[in-house]
Amino acid sequence: MDESLQEQMLQTVHNTVERLQSEVKSMRPYGAGGMELPMPNVQRLKQIVRLCRSIIFPGYFEADTFTHQSERYLTGVNVEQINLLLSGEIYASLMLHTEGGDDRREPAKIREEAEGMTIRFVEGLPMLREMLNMDVEAIYDGDPAAESYREIIFAYPGIRAIMNYRIAHLLYEIGVPLLPRVITEMAHSETGIDIHPYATIGKRFAIDHGTGIVIGATAVIGNNVKLYQGVTLGAKSFPTDEKGNLLRGEPRHPVIGDNVIIYAQATILGRVTIGEGSVIGGNVWVTRDVAKGSKIVQENAKKDI
């Protein structure tokens, strides 16, 4: 290589590194003074989700060695593994959560906080199993193609997305930052179903097919609700302050009452309420409240009924 060209390449590398080191410092996972902060580990989070699946539905997600006699032992081992792994991941998320990395907080106190959150999560595992059992029953009751609960647990993407959501939502309720969103995004990439962990979803939640469903952060869904593929529960607009900055945490997604069915590709936007027992037809666009017991279908489709 020509010597001058080689020098030019070396200088380019040097200049690029200098620029990369000097720009966007606030985006880096360092605390004050360049202190390195621990990062959550995605592979360990995947392992935690797998362990939760094994505890909630024993026999479906373990190795071939699972037997009825070994269930109690394996459940104990899995709970202990969650206790060990999750504590470290919560600790990392708490250290990273404070903008700019506030390393004035004592790591020992943050570690203690993480361990307390982990205990609360483990205590919530029986509740998660109860909720997810009801979700499986709801999917089975509403799907004539389902041949058994076992088929739904083992093969249906909807229950996998709901499972990740319920795990993530419990972490959110406990106060764990960051990890809930990572866990629901795992299900999003696996199933094509996007449920924000901050959404509130009641008992007996059923997803049929599921691909393309989007449920926003402030959405509220009642009991015994069923969604089909492509449904969007989104925001119509984003409120801002007097300077035009987004107001975060404001309710901006729909409230869905009990016993509602929303068919494929329906879009419901804004803080509107869909009344109890209503049916929202396919491809319908809703931006206003819907009264209890309503049936909303496309105008053209009405003529064919």
Instruction: State the pLDDT at residue 262.
Output: 98
State percent of the chain over pLDDT 70: 89
Instruction: State the pLDDT at residue 46.
Output: 96
Using one digit for the tens of pLDDT, what is the confidence trace for 142-173? 999 999 999 999 999 999 999 999 999 999 99
Report the alpha-carbon distance of residue 163 to residue 183 in Å, rounded. 10
DSSP 124: T
Residue 209 CB burial class (10 angstroms; 0-12, 13-18, ≥19): middle
pLDDT for residue 186 is more than 60: yes
**Average of pLDDT values for 176-192?**
97
Using one digit for the tens of pLDDT, what is the confidence trace for 222-241? 999 999 999 999 998 777 77
Using one digit for the tens of pLDDT, what is the confidence trace for 66-103? 677 778 888 899 999 999 999 999 999 998 876 444 44
Dihedral angle, C-alpha 148, 154, 158, 159, nearest 10 °:
90
What is the per-residue burial (b if ≥16 Cβ within 10 Å, else e) of 221-251?
A: bbbbbbbbbbbbbbbeeeeeeeeeeeeeeee
pTM: 0.88
pLDDT for residue 127 is more than 60: yes
According to DSSP, the β-strands at 273-274 and 200-201 are: unpaired
In angstroms, how far is the first alpha carbon of the chain from the final one?
77
Report the alpha-carbon distance of residue 12 to residue 62 in Å, rounded. 52
Using one digit for the tens of pLDDT, what is the confidence trace for 244-291? 777 787 899 999 999 999 999 999 999 999 999 999 999 999 999 999
Instruction: State the pLDDT at residue 253.
Output: 96
Q: Where residue 5 falls among pLDDT bands split at 50, 70, 90?
A: confident
Instruction: State the pLDDT at residue 66.
Output: 67
Question: Out of 60-64, 127-131, 199-203, which region has the weakest mean confidence (pLDDT)?
Answer: 60-64
Using one digit for the tens of pLDDT, what is the confidence trace for 34-50? 556 788 999 999 999 99
